[in-house]
Each structure stands twice: as C-alpha cells, then as structure tokens.
C-alpha cells in the first residue's frame, strides 16, 4: 500500500524531471547549434583571408620587387600584412573560445539526453522461454557466413587495390634505361658548326674569319640561295654540316624545319603535335615574341626544339621524332623565349617563369637520346628570356645563367649551384657571354657587369670586376672580343667598352630598330638591323664602319656564320649569303 | 525514448563544425625590411621526465582501482566515475598520448629496427594493461582507456548489433593490428596514431579530417556501444587474448545464476552469452565434419592470403616516404608528371643520384612484399580460426560474460537479482 502510494507520488516528479531533461537538452542543443554555425562561418571566412595565401600581399610584393625603393608601397604592404595577421589571430582566438563553448554545450546536451533516456528506460521484461533450441547453431552458421563475407571482401579489396594502383615502378639498377646514346661532339666539331643560338658556346663569335661583306637581297647579288620558311618566327638558324635547322609556329601549329645547306631545299618539315600534357589552349604571348621564339639546338646527333606552350621535342637529322614531352605551359608574360643549348650528351633547358616568389623557375638537363631528366635545379628567379651558356673556367665547366636578381652558375654534370651574384634588375632578355675568364652580363635599366667565376656561394660582394651603365641593351645580347665589349640597344645605339676594365671606348647611334645580336667574325662585328641592313664594323678601340649590305626583308633573328657563309632568317625567307654552289 | 534523427544530424554538424574551428593554421613570419628583428622563437620546454613517472604511476593506480571496482566492489557507478577521471587525465589533460594502443607501434619498431630506442614509459604503457588483463580481465577497457571512456560517455541509446554482423566486423581489428605492425616494422608510418579518431578531440586541435573521423565515431557511438573498441581497436585484440586466460574476470552474478534472463539485454557490447543445450548426436557428428573441413581449409586460407598480400606489397609500400619520393622523382624524370614537389626539390638539392634513391625504394618494396605476404597470411589465419571458433559447440549452463569481449564495464551487475540481493544484505548488515 505504501509502495503504491510512493509510486503515485513519484510519477509527477519523474515526468517533471523528464521534461526538465528534455528542455535542457533542447536548449543546450540550440546553443551548440548557434555556436557551431558561428564557428563554421568564422572558419569559412578564414579560408579566404589566409595571410600566407593572400593575393593582395603577393601582388604588393611583386610590385615592390619591381620598385624596391618605393616607400609608400612598403608602408601599404606592411599595413595589409598587419591587418591580415590581426584578422588571423582574431579568428584563431574566436575559434578557440567557441570550441570550448561548443564542447560545454555538447556536454550538457549529452548529459541531459542521457538523463532523459534513463528516466524513460523500460525495465527488462524477457519475452518467451529464453533461447530456443538450435538458436546458437543458427547464429553460429550466420556468423560463419559473415566472417566468410568479411574475409572475401578484404581479399577482393586487396586485389582491387593491387590491380588498380598505378604501375609506378622506378627501374631496377640492372634494367637501367636501355643503351642510351651518350656520345657527344668534340670541341672541334662544335667549333666548325653553328649548333645553337649565337653559335659555338653561345658567344656570338664565328670560328671562321671568312664571311661575305657585300650582297643585295633585292637583286640576288651575293645570295647563294633563298628559300621560303613555312611558319614565321624570330628564332635563329642553326647549322650542322649540310643541315640548317629552324622552327616556326602559330597559335595552333608548331613545326621544325631542316634545309639543305648547299641548295636551300627544304628537306623535311615536321609537326610537333600529339604530345601528352600539351595544353589545349595556347599561352598568351606578345606578337613580337610569337610561339617559337626559342632557337633550336643540336648536338650533331639530334636537333631539339622548344615552343611557347612548353612542348619540347627531339628529332633525328633524318626527321624522325625521337622523343617529345611537354614541360607545362610556361607562366611567362611575353612568351617563352630562352633558347636551347647542349652540353656533352645533355640538353639544357632554362625554364624560368612567373616571379621569383612563385618558385616555378628551373634549369633542367635532359638526356638528349631519351628525353629522360638527368637533373633539374630550382631557380630563385622569375621569368627571363635569356639563354644560358656553358663556359670553361680554370676550376671546370659552368653553366652561366642570368635572372632577376641573380646571375647564377651551375655545375653542368649535376645541376648543383656553384655561385650566384645578386646584381640584376628589370626584365632579362640579353644572354650572358664569357671572355677573359669572366662572365659578362648586361641589361637595360640595370647594369652591365663582369663577374669572376672562381667564387662559390653568394659572390655578390666579391665577384664583380667592373660595372657599366651606358648603352645597356634590352633585347640584343652583348658581344666580347678579348679586348672589347660591345652592346647594342633595340634603338640602334652601339656602345663599345674595354672588356677588361669596363671603360667606355666609343658609342655610335644608328637610330634604327635592332633585335638581332651582334656577331664577331675575325676582326669584324656584324650587326643586322630589323630593316634587314647588315652593318659591318671594325672590332677596334675606335668606331669604324666597314660595310653595309641590304637583305630586302626584315630580320629579327641572329644570323649564323659557318664555312664562309652567312645564314640569315628574314621574316619570310631563309637566306644563304655566299657563293653559289 | 526514441532519438529523433534530427538530433543525430544536429550532433554531426556540431561536432564537425568544432573540428573546422579547431584546425591549427600556420604561416611564415613576415618579411620585415625595416630593420625590425624578429624575436627568437620560443619553444615550449619538453615535458619533465617526472611527468612520465607520474603517468605510469597514474596508469598503474587506475588499473588497480578499475580491477578492484569491477571484481571486488562490483560498482558500475564507481567505474563510471573512474572512467571520467581517466578521460579527463589521460585524454584531455595528457592529450591522449602516450597510449597503450599506439605503443604497439613503438614496440614493434624497436623490435624491427635496432637503431630505434623505445622509451621506457612507452614500454610501461604497453605492458601494464596487458599484465593487469592477464590477472584481472579487461579492467583497462572498463575505466582507464580514454578512447573507450569517451565512447562510453556518449552512449545514449544502445542498440544491439546483430550477432552475425558483430562476428563479421570483429575481423577488422585483427587486420588493423597486422597492418599497423607491418607499417611500423618497416618504418613507414604509425597508422594507429595517424588515424586515431579521438586525439583531435582530446587536443581540441587537429586537421579537419581527424576531427570529422572522431565525430563520425562518436555519432555512431550514440547508439552503438564503443564502435572503435569493438570493431577496430588493435590493442583490444591483445587484451582479448589475455582476457581469455585471465586468472579472474568479471561475472554477471556474484553467486549462482538463477536464469531470470533479466541480464539478456544488459550489455551494449554484445558480450553476454546465453545458456546452451548439449548437441544431439547428429549435430555433434556434423560439427566434427565441419571442423575437419575447416582444418583442411585453414592452410589454404593462409596461403591465399599470403599470395594476395604479397601482390599488395608494392602499393602498400607507398606508405613509406622514400618509396613515394622515388616514384615522384622517377615520374618527373620520365616526364609523366608536370612540375615538382617540395620533396623532390629537396632531394635534388642533396645532389644524390636518383639511382641511389631508386635502389632504396626497391629494397623497401621487397620488404613490403614479404611483409604484405605475412599480413595476408595473418588475415587468412584469422578468418580460418574465426570460422573454426564458430564451429565448435560449447555448452553453457548459465548466462556468462564472454571471456574475450567483455569490457568489464559493470552494466550487467545491476540487472542481476542475486547481485541486488547481495547489495541489500550488505546494506542491512553493514
């Protein structure tokens, strides 16, 4: 009787407690929901304001790198940076406090929910007569089936994983990469040909002192042959034996050409297409740069070509494509223009892109025979349009490169950085040269400088032998004899320095557009203007013009000087200047 | 009380959101050009060695208390309080590390790699719960493990997982244990720690994926008792083995079972076994034939598992950083991928030849092929033995806690009228 009375008395209390627990759970749940929504909003907003990925800071840094002395830009950058960091820490603090509130809210929610569940918990009331006979056997049978199913699933999953995983298998040492051709031309072979942009070594110095001084493209006087080039481009002719190589491209077509050096006949014309990874949409390039600004290179075994979309291909002299690959669309505002060069059996590709903060630039060495990467080295510079050279120094061979802000030399065998000097600014297009044991560089809005090559590490303070600031070129690469250092600007100003001291000797302003780099032939300097006029100067300590000759066609490419002949690429034709066969 | 689906969804959103908020973000220091000198980075002092002894002592005391509360005092409430204390100390205060579950990997690596010295505190954390289990049953799971405690604390409305599904899922901890041992022995990864679902909650910090994984387990844990402990915990495999042969263990009733059946649904972990009847002659004969067939099948399962595991070795070897790097460098060199990664850049800066890296990677692949075969054979063995275990009939006269899977939580005590009678008598007689 007393128990019944207690039960009657307790029922309203239990109901009230249950209602209280449910309400508490509801309030705590709602509170937690609000906190969670705020935290979520805070997090999503934070993703867009991450200081380390800030577009605003990146843009300001890029602007500052172009104008490093701009005080107002620095102030602006600091203010933006400070604001972003304040925002970051405010969000972090908010998230931390919010998380504790959320944990607290959830704890109350759970406790109340458990309390409500306990208050309405049904007492155990076993039904039936307990486990039936055979129930355990049936349960065990079902268990066996499911254990078998679990084992089967695991097995199938393992097989699917094994079969489906990409077959990426680095070669076993015994497999190697097949018998690759690692032969390369001798220095004598290289010197008797024109294997790359600006000839042997990329120095703009012809091996032969013999070259014509008079011709007329309009009348055909002195022209051995003249052949139309299918696709126009500003890259220069490369000559090896009886072969003259060029490349050309439009937005949609990329081609490599081989001409007969004797007759000018187009021997073959090969498309560069169907390369895996080649971008469907061509890159945006400046009209003057075009899609094939880079000069091809040859090692006497194959000819290599690179295009503005990152396509790189190797062809045998007979025209068969040996290998091809895409290096990724270059992030280059004017269009990729660095030319190729070879060293021993390696093909060297300077692939500078974006700005120095982007970390996209690199120097890559491919095995010429296979296209396999022998090494690649990241470069702390932004886009450049210059071409590297390989120089022989007393301490060994070095690859000399120019970028902003670093002039860097690398070990050609490994790609290891040897030395670097922080001296360049602006947009680097003129390529480096080498004379008197020094690397010579020049760039408009920056400086011309001679750098010693025996240092290691950061040699900014120790390697600069001399600097100069007049007549700095923005497109044409410089030229050096042992004694002279010649600069040509795009406006036709020719400036001559003493190559050992940096003292200016003379200057002469032709006031004409020049894109081709000057070339030394014997004691003469050949300079080709955009109008197609070749001006021959004396390589001397005083200015002296020796001759002029007209091609009758515009010229943006640097000519090749081989075997007493000059190969000039006009905007439409390839000309061979010399005696007719 | 039936839980509305909306509450479960709300919980998922809440816990998931907390994860996004707690994720740590890092960024480089500003590029000052004004001459401002960045202050020296302050690093927190390493934990005092004394704390390690305190941790080991706390573990030993907690294990002793849990054993006493489960076996002697037989109090679910006291166990629950101890469980919350363990959750607070080992979980939230000590941030879930070091823990016996992850210590499996340290011990494995120490055995496989003589160059790795495992800290004594880790050995103690690995061995102490095993030692206690061998004597007292799974008192560690009852009230000391912070992972179990967290799941136990959120269990609101337990539902019974069908026995057949439970049997199937209970294969997974063995696979996880085998994989963890393989990856630890090869120096590839500590996967148990890497995929610890609750460590991000204990630390109130971690990647979004970690927190979401923990939230998913807790969400399931609202209605399924301790899903991680039962269907994934690799340390539970070891504890289960030792618990089978432990000297003492938890019993549902303190005296003789009266077959009232009140405890049938008391265990949210499916660890209560019902009485069985003796098999008939036909059933016994059929059982013998099945066991015979399975004994023949067992080596086949081990062999098939070994072959499949050997085949899976190369893909699994990608868990090792050296293999991943070698593959990446090779792909870059062959022109099969664009660009490079921080890792491949760093490798090239070392100036080491790629062939050296490839040789290392191939050596590791060989180890993984052997290890994979061992793992596959292990899984085949587990499946075979499970099938055998399910084919051997055992007779039980009473309701009993399963020796291997009982977590000694004490929930069943209160359901037993004999236990209630004991408590009443004790209260009456003091």
Sign of dihedral through CA atoms A123, A127, A133, A135? negative
Could you read off the pLDDT of A240-258 as tens digits, one per residue? Answer: 999 999 999 999 999 999 9
Percentage of chain B lying above the pLDDT 70 cut: 89
Between A129 and A410, residue with greater pLDDT: A410
Residue A166: closest C-alpha in chain B: B315
- Min Cα distance B345 → chain A (Å) is 7
DSSP assignment letter at A532: S
Residue A162 has pLDDT above 90, yes or no: no
B339 and A169: CB-CB below 8 Å?
no
- CB atoms closer than 10 angstroms to residue A507: 15
Testing the interface with B: which of A150, A153, A364 to mutate, by most B Cβ within 10 A?
Answer: A150
Residue A9 has pLDDT above 90, yes or no: no
Between A45 and B196, residue with greater pLDDT: B196
Residue A75 has pLDDT above 60, yes or no: yes
Residues A107 and A230 in one domain: no
Lowest mean pLDDT among A386-395, B311-320, B349-358: B349-358
Work out the pLDDT band at A96, boundaries 50, 70, 90: confident
Highest mean pLDDT among A53-67, A566-580, B13-27: A566-580
In a domain, A294, yes or no: yes
Residues A106 and A191 in one domain: no
CB interface of A with B, residues 260-289, below 8 Å: 277
C-alpha count within 13 angstroms, C-beta hemisphere, residue B371: 24
Q: Tell me, what's the pLDDT at B387?
A: 95
What residues of B are in contact with residue A32 (Cβ under 8 Å)? 10, 14
Residues whose CB is less than 8 angstroms from the CB of residue B280 and which lie 6 or more positions away in sequence, other chains included = none
What residues of B are in contact with residue A148 (Cβ under 8 Å)? 383, 387
Measure the CA–CA gap between A562 and A559, rounded to whole angstroms.
10
The number of residues in chain B equals 430
Give which of A328, A285, A290, A321 is closest to A305, Cα–Cα: A321
Residue A130: closest C-alpha in chain B: B261
Distance separating the N- and C-terminal Cα atoms of chain A: 133
In a domain, A133, yes or no: no
* Arithmetic mean of pLDDT, A175-200: 82
Residue B424 buriedness (CB in 10 A; 0-12 / 13-18 / 19+):
exposed
Measure the CA–CA gap between B335 and A364, rounded to whole angstroms.
12
DSSP assignment letter at A205: B
Measure the CA–CA gap between A409 and A422, rounded to whole angstroms.
12
Residue A224 has pLDDT above 50, yes or no: yes
Measure the CA–CA gap between A232 and A334, rounded to whole angstroms.
17
Query: DSSP strand E in B173-277: where?
Result: 272-273
- CB atoms closer than 10 angstroms to residue B285: 11
A124 and B27: CB-CB below 8 Å?
no
Work out the pLDDT band at B2, boundaries 50, 70, 90: very low
Helix axes B120-136, B100-112, angle to 10 degrees: 120
The number of residues in chain A equals 581
Could you read off the pLDDT of A532-549 as tens digits, one per residue? Answer: 999 999 999 999 999 999
Give which of A494, A580, A493 is closest to A540, Cα–Cα: A494
Q: Alpha helices, DSSP H only, in B113-190?
A: 120-136, 139-143, 146-154, 163-169, 172-185
Please report, for residues A375, A437, A526, B233, the alpha-carbon distance to residue A500 in angstroms, rounded to integers and kept in the order given.
35, 10, 22, 76
B7, B164, B305 member nearest A29 (Cβ): B7
Residues A191 and A98 in one domain: no
Give which of B284, B281, B307, B101 is closest to B195, Cα–Cα: B101
* Arithmetic mean of pLDDT, B63-73: 95
Work out the pLDDT band at A85, boundaries 50, 70, 90: confident
DSSP H or E run through B343: helix B342-350
Work out the pLDDT band at B32, boundaries 50, 70, 90: low
Q: What are the φ and ψ backbone dihedral angles of A550, each rounded to 5 degrees?
A: -105, 140
Residues A288 and A436 in one domain: yes
Residue B279: closest C-alpha in chain A: A134
Q: Tell me, what's the pLDDT at A166?
A: 58
Give which of A217, A178, A421 is closest to A322, Cα–Cα: A178
* Arithmetic mean of pLDDT, B229-241: 96
How many domains does chain A contain in total? Answer: 2
Measure the CA–CA gap between B334 and B24, rounded to whole angstroms.
37
- CB atoms closer than 10 angstroms to residue B139: 33
Tell me: ipTM over 0.95: no
Residue A128: closest C-alpha in chain B: B261
Q: What angle do CA A217, A219, A225 make, to 5 degrees?
A: 55
- Cβ contacts of B94-97, under 8 Å, gap ≥ 24: B94/B55, B95/B199, B95/B202, B95/B203, B96/B146, B96/B147, B96/B196, B96/B198, B96/B199, B96/B202, B96/B203, B97/B193, B97/B199
Q: For residue A225, what are the β-bridge partners? A: A576
What residues of A are in contact with residue B175 (Cβ under 8 Å)? 154
B157 and A149: CB-CB below 8 Å?
no
Q: What angle do CA B46, B52, B55 make, to 5 degrees?
A: 130
Tokens of A277: 């990874």
Q: Tell me, what's the pLDDT at A22?
A: 93
Testing the interface with B: which of A168, A347, A375 to mutate, by most B Cβ within 10 A?
Answer: A168
Q: Tell me, what's the pLDDT at A1?
A: 42
Residues A436 and A542 in one domain: yes
Which of A119, A149, A179 is at the close of a domain?
Answer: A119
C-alpha count within 13 angstroms, C-beta hemisphere, residue A321: 17
- Residue A66 in contact with partner chain B when CB distance is under 8 A: no
B13 and A33: CB-CB below 8 Å?
yes
Residue B144 has pLDDT above 90, yes or no: yes
DSSP H or E run through A396: strand A396-402
Work out the pLDDT band at A128, boundaries 50, 70, 90: low
Task: Report yes or no: A464 and A447 within 8 Å, Cβ to Cβ.
Answer: no
In a domain, A181, yes or no: no
Q: Tell me, what's the pLDDT at B212?
A: 85
Measure the CA–CA gap between A147 and A150, rounded to whole angstroms.
5
Tokens of B336: 């099969």
Residues A205 and A103 in one domain: no
Residue B289 has pLDDT above 90, yes or no: yes
- Residue A180 in contact with partner chain B when CB distance is under 8 A: no
- Residue A373 in contact with partner chain B when CB distance is under 8 A: yes
Residue A115 has pLDDT above 70, yes or no: yes
A40 and B327: CB-CB below 8 Å?
no
Residue A365 has pLDDT above 90, yes or no: yes
Task: Report yes or no: B140 and B66 within 8 Å, Cβ to Cβ.
Answer: yes
Residues A90 and A205 in one domain: no
Tokens of A444: 């408009």
* Arithmetic mean of pLDDT, A468-496: 94
- Residue A325 in contact with partner chain B when CB distance is under 8 A: yes
Between B141 and B343, residue with greater pLDDT: B141
Residue B46 buriedness (CB in 10 A; 0-12 / 13-18 / 19+):
exposed
Tokens of A494: 């020719």
What residues of A are in contact with residue B362 (Cβ under 8 Å)? 170, 172-173
Tokens of A4: 């019944």
Which of A72, A91, A119 is at the close of a domain?
Answer: A119
- Residue A157 in contact with partner chain B when CB distance is under 8 A: no
3-state DSSP assignment of residue B221? helix
Domain of residue A197, residue span: 187-577
Residues A72 and A191 in one domain: no
Could you read off the pLDDT of A552-569 as tens digits, one per residue? Answer: 999 999 999 999 999 999
- Min Cα distance A491 → chain B (Å) is 37
Q: For residue A401, what are the β-bridge partners? A: A408
Q: For residue A417, what are the β-bridge partners? A: A410
Give which of A349, A366, A436, A475 is closest to A401, Cα–Cα: A349
Sheet-wide strand order for A457-458: A389-393, A396-402, A406-410, A417-422, A457-458
Residue A65 has pLDDT above 80, yes or no: no
Helix axes B76-86, B49-67, angle to 10 degrees: 170
Diameter of chain B by CA atoms?
94
Percentage of chain B lying above the pLDDT 90 cut: 58
In a domain, A455, yes or no: yes
What residues of B are in contact with residue A362 (Cβ under 8 Å)? 340
DSSP H or E run through B78: helix B76-86
Work out the pLDDT band at B4, boundaries 50, 70, 90: low
Highest mean pLDDT among A121-125, B261-265, B399-403: B399-403
Question: What CATH number is given to the structural domain containing A495?
Answer: 2.130.10.10
- The whole-chain average pLDDT of chain A stands at 89
Work out the pLDDT band at B428, boundaries 50, 70, 90: confident
Q: Tell me, what's the pLDDT at A92?
A: 86
Task: Report yes or no: A407 and A433 within 8 Å, Cβ to Cβ.
Answer: no
- Min Cα distance B132 → chain A (Å) is 30
3-state DSSP assignment of residue B54? helix
In a domain, A171, yes or no: no
In a domain, A246, yes or no: yes
Cβ contacts from A onto B, under 8 A = 216
Strand A484-488 to A479-480 pairing: antiparallel
Testing the interface with A: which of B3, B15, B18, B35 to mutate, by most A Cβ within 10 A?
Answer: B18
Lowest mean pLDDT among A7-21, A84-98, A266-280, B183-197: A7-21
* Arithmetic mean of pLDDT, A440-446: 92
Residue A156: closest C-alpha in chain B: B308
DSSP assignment letter at A221: B
What residues of A are in contact with residue B30 (Cβ under 8 Å)? 81, 85
C-alpha count within 13 angstroms, C-beta hemisphere, residue A444: 13
Give which of A490, A502, A423 is closest to A463, Cα–Cα: A423
Residues A310 and A439 in one domain: yes
Rg (CA), chain A: 36
3-state DSSP assignment of residue A367? strand
Measure the CA–CA gap between B140 and B58, rounded to whole angstroms.
12
Which of A119, A145, A171 is at the close of a domain?
Answer: A119
DSSP H or E run through B305: helix B281-316
In a domain, A97, yes or no: yes
Could you read off the pLDDT of A311-362 as tens digits, one per residue? Answer: 999 999 999 888 888 888 898 889 999 999 999 999 999 999 988 877 889 9
DSSP H or E run through B104: helix B100-112
Residues A83 and A220 in one domain: no
DSSP H or E run through B427: helix B417-429
- Min Cα distance A360 → chain B (Å) is 8
Q: Tell me, what's the pLDDT at B9?
A: 58
Measure the CA–CA gap between A401 and A405, rounded to whole angstroms.
11
Tokens of A91: 């969000």
């Amino acid at each position: 009787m007393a128990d019944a009375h207690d039960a009657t008395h307790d029922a309203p209390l239990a109901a009230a407690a249950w209602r209280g627990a449910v309400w508490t759970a509801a309030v705590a749940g709602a509170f937690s929901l609000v906190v969670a929504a705020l935290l979520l909003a805070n997090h999503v907003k934070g993703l867009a304001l991450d200081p380390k990925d800030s577009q605003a800071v990146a843009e300001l840094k890029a602007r500052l790198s172009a104008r490093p002395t701009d005080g107002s830009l620095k102030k602006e950058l600091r203010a933006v940076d400070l604001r972003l960091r304040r925002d970051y820490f405010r969000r972090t603090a908010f998230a931390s406090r919010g998380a504790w509130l959320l944990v607290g809210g959830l704890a109350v929610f759970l406790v109340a929910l458990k309390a409500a569940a306990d208050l309405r918990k049904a007492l155990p009331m076993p039904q039936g007569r307990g486990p039936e006979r055979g129930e355990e056997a049936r349960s065990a049978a079902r268990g066996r089936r499911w254990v078998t199913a679990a084992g089967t699933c695991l097995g199938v999953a393992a097989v699917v994983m094994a079969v489906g995983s990409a077959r990426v298998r680095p070669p076993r040492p015994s497999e190697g990469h097949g018998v690759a051709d690692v032969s390369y031309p001798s220095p004598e072979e290289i010197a008797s040909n024109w294997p790359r942009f600006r000839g042997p070594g990329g120095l703009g110095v012809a091996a032969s002192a013999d070259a014509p001084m008079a011709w007329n493209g309009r009348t055909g006087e002195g022209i051995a042959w003249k052949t139309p080039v299918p696709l126009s481009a500003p890259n220069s002719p490369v000559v090896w034996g009886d072969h003259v190589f060029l490349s050309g491209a439009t937005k949609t077509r990329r081609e490599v050409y081989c001409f007969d050096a004797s007759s000018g006949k187009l021997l073959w014309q090969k498309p560069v297409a169907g390369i895996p990874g080649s971008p469907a949409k061509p890159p945006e390039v400046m009209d003057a740069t075009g899609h094939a600004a880079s000069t091809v290179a040859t090692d006497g075994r194959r000819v290599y070509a690179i295009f503005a979309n990152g396509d790189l291909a190797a062809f045998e002299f007979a025209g068969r494509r040996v290998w091809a690959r895409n290096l990724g669309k270059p992030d280059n505002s004017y269009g990729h223009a660095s030319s190729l060069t070879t060293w021993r059996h390696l093909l060297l590709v300077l692939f500078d892109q974006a700005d120095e903060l982007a970390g996209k630039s690199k120097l890559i060495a491919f095995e010429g025979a296979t296209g396999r990467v022998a090494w690649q080295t990241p470069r702390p510079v932004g886009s450049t349009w210059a071409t590297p050279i390989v120089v022989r120094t007393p301490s060994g061979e070095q690859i000399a490169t120019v970028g902003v802000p670093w002039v860097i030399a690398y070990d050609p065998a490994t790609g290891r950085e040897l030395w670097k000097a922080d001296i360049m600014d602006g947009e680097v297009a003129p390529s480096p040269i080498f004379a008197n044991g020094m690397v010579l560089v020049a760039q408009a809005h920056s400086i011309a400088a001679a750098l010693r090559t025996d240092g290691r590490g950061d040699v900014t303070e120790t390697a600069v032998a001399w600097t100069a600031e007049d007549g700095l070129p923005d497109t044409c690469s410089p030229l050096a004899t042992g004694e002279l250092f010649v600069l040509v600007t795009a406006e036709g100003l020719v400036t001559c320095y003493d190559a050992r001291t940096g003292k200016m000797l003379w200057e002469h302003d032709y006031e004409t557009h020049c894109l081709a780099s000057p070339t030394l032939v014997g004691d003469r300097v050949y300079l080709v203007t955009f109008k197609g006029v070749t001006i021959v100067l004396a390589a001397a300590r005083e200015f002296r013009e020796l001759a002029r000759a007209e091609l009758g066609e515009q010229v943006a490419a640097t000519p090749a000087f081989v075997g007493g002949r000059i190969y000039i690429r006009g905007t439409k034709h390839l000309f061979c200047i010399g005696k007719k066969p | 009380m039936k839980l509305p689906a909306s509450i479960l969804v709300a919980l998922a959103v809440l816990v998931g959101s907390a994860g996004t908020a707690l994720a740590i973000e890092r960024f480089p220091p500003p590029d000052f050009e004004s001459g401002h000198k960045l202050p020296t980075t302050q690093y927190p002092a390493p934990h005092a060695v004394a704390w390690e002894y305190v941790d080991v002592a706390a573990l030993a005391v907690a294990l002793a208390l849990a054993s006493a509360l489960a076996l002697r005092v037989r109090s679910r409430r006291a166990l629950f309080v101890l469980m919350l204390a363990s959750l607070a100390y080992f979980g939230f205060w000590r941030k879930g590390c070091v823990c016996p579950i992850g210590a499996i990997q340290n011990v494995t690596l120490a055995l496989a790699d003589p160059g790795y010295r495992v800290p004594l505190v880790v050995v103690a954390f690995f061995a102490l719960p095993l030692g206690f289990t061998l004597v007292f049953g799974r008192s560690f799971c009852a009230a000391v493990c912070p992972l179990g405690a967290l799941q136990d604390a959120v269990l609101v409305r337990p539902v019974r997982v069908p026995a057949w599904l439970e049997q199937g899922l209970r294969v997974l901890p063995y696979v996880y244990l085998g994989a963890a041992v393989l990856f630890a022995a090869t120096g590839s990864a500590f996967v148990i720690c890497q995929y610890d679902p609750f460590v991000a909650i204990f630390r109130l910090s971690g990647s979004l994926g970690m927190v979401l994984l923990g939230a998913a387990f807790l969400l399931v844990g609202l209605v399924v008792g301790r899903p991680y402990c039962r269907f994934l915990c690799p340390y539970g495999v070891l504890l289960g083995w030792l618990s089978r042969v432990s000297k003492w263990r938890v019993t549902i009733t303190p005296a003789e079972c009266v077959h009232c059946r009140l405890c049938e649904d008391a265990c949210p972990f499916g660890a209560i076994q019902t009485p069985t009847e003796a098999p008939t002659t036909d059933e016994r004969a059929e059982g013998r034939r099945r066991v015979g067939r399975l004994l023949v099948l067992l080596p086949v399962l081990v062999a098939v598992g070994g072959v499949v595991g050997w085949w899976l070795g190369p893909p699994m070897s990608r868990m090792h950083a050296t293999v991943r790097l070698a593959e990446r460098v090779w792909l870059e060199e062959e022109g099969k991928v664009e660009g490079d990664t921080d890792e491949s850049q760093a490798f090239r800066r070392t100036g080491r030849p790629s062939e050296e890296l490839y040789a290392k990677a191939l050596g590791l692949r060989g180890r993984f092929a052997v290890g994979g075969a061992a793992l596959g054979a292990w899984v085949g063995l587990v499946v075979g033995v499970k099938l055998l275990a399910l084919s051997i009939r055992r007779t039980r006269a009473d309701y009993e806690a399963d020796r291997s899977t009982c977590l000694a939580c004490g929930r069943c005590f209160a359901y037993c009228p004999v236990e209630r009678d004991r408590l009443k008598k004790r209260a009456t007689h003091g």
